[in-house]
A and B are shown apart, each in its own frame.
Chain A
């Protein structure tokens, strides 16, 4: 067959998403955790674009656009927070940011 079924794209998206979650859950470095979040967002973008193809409408592309913008803003602010945390605690270990314990 010369054509790719749409469900393959969605499965790819699911796999990338789960990998992102795995990174989020299992890694201890804050920056790596952030990057896993970006990975999850990308996976979701892929599924949105797939749906746009499926429905032959451009609206989903707009959604992807906005997700990207928000992800960029979030990355900026989040990294600023990491910088501040690093300045105060001199650690990038996410397990040590636990003042909310109990």
Chain B
């Protein structure tokens, strides 16, 4: 049962990811990306990461992607033209990517030839309580720093995007 679940949602994720890359109109790419994030959230649940799954849906799919869609609509970006100009990318791109994939697969196989198996309930430490406890005790400093980072990002975004006051 877990296997079937995994296979379905993994397939959805891959197809949606390919769609993100292949579609010409950005809005289609954005919607496909939302699909990727949703299926990833299910996979997180399979791995016992309940809090993260929730955060993925709420923050990523709910806020970040909405931001993307807003900007696309604001800029009225149309479909992309066909002509390319990066000689290096067109020459080396595909081989490098295939090489990257092969290397990563090889690494994975090296590390986990016969690893553990995943099933529902195999990991119970991913609850909101566990995450919260770790966040506010062990990882308090990064938490604080990240909040400052977010503040800076907000200020930066506001400054960059506002109209000139004249």
Query: When the two chains form their complex, are residues B20 and A39 in contact, meaning their CB atoms are under 8 A apart?
Result: yes
- A76 and B161 CA atoms in complex are apart in Å by 10
In chain B, positions 115-145 with a C-beta closer than 8 Å to chain A are: 115-119, 122-123, 125-126, 130-131, 134-135, 138-139, 142
Within 8 A of B (CB), among A67-97: 68-77, 79-84, 86, 92-93, 95
B26/A29 in contact, CB under 8 A: yes
Contact across chains for B68 and A28 when beta carbons are under 8 A apart: no
Contact between chains at A84 and B36 (CB < 8 Å): no
- Chain B residues within 8 Å of chain A by Cβ, number: 84
**Cα-based distance from A77 to B17 in the complex (angstroms):** 24
Q: Which residue of A lies closest to B154 (CB)?
A: A76
Which residue of the partner chain, among B6, B60, B100, contacts A42 with CB atoms under 8 Å?
B60
A: residues with CB less than 8 A from B are 1-12, 14-23, 25-29, 31-32, 34-36, 38-39, 42, 45-46, 49-50, 52-54, 56-59, 61-62, 64-66, 68-77, 79-84, 86, 92-93, 95
Q: Are B97 and A25 in contact (CB under 8 A)?
A: yes
Q: Are A53 and B122 in contact (CB under 8 A)?
A: yes
Across the interface, do B21 and A7 meet the contact criterion of CB distance under 8 Å? no
Distance in Å: Cβ of A52 to nearest Cβ of chain B: 7
- Taking a contact as CB atoms under 8 Å apart, the answer to whether A19 and B156 are in contact is no
Which partner residue on chain A sits nearest B101 by CB separation?
A18
B52 touching A75 by the CB < 8 A rule? Answer: no
Of B21, B80, B118, most A-chain CB atoms within 10 Å: B21
Q: Which 6 A-B pairs have the closest CB atoms?
A: A73-B153, A3-B117, A80-B160, A14-B104, A23-B21, A6-B115
What is the predominant secondary structure among interface residues of chain A facing chain B?
A: helix
Bitwise, B18-42 to A at CB < 8 A (1) or not (0) is 1011000010011001001100100
Q: Roughly how many angstroms separate A54 CA and B117 CA in the complex, as a whole number?
A: 9
- Select which of B33, B49, B52, B67 is within 8 A of A76 by beta carbon: B67
Q: Which residues of B contact A25 (CB under 8 A)?
A: 89, 93, 96-97
Residue positions of B touching A, CB distance < 8 A = 1-3, 6, 10, 13-14, 17-18, 20-21, 26, 29-30, 33, 36-37, 40, 43-44, 46-49, 51-52, 55-56, 59-60, 63-65, 67-68, 71-72, 74-75, 77, 80-81, 84-86, 89, 93, 96-97, 100-101, 104-105, 108-109, 112-113, 115-119, 122-123, 125-126, 130-131, 134-135, 138-139, 142, 146, 149-150, 152-154, 156-158, 160-161
| A23 surroundings in chain B (CB, below 8 A) | 20-21
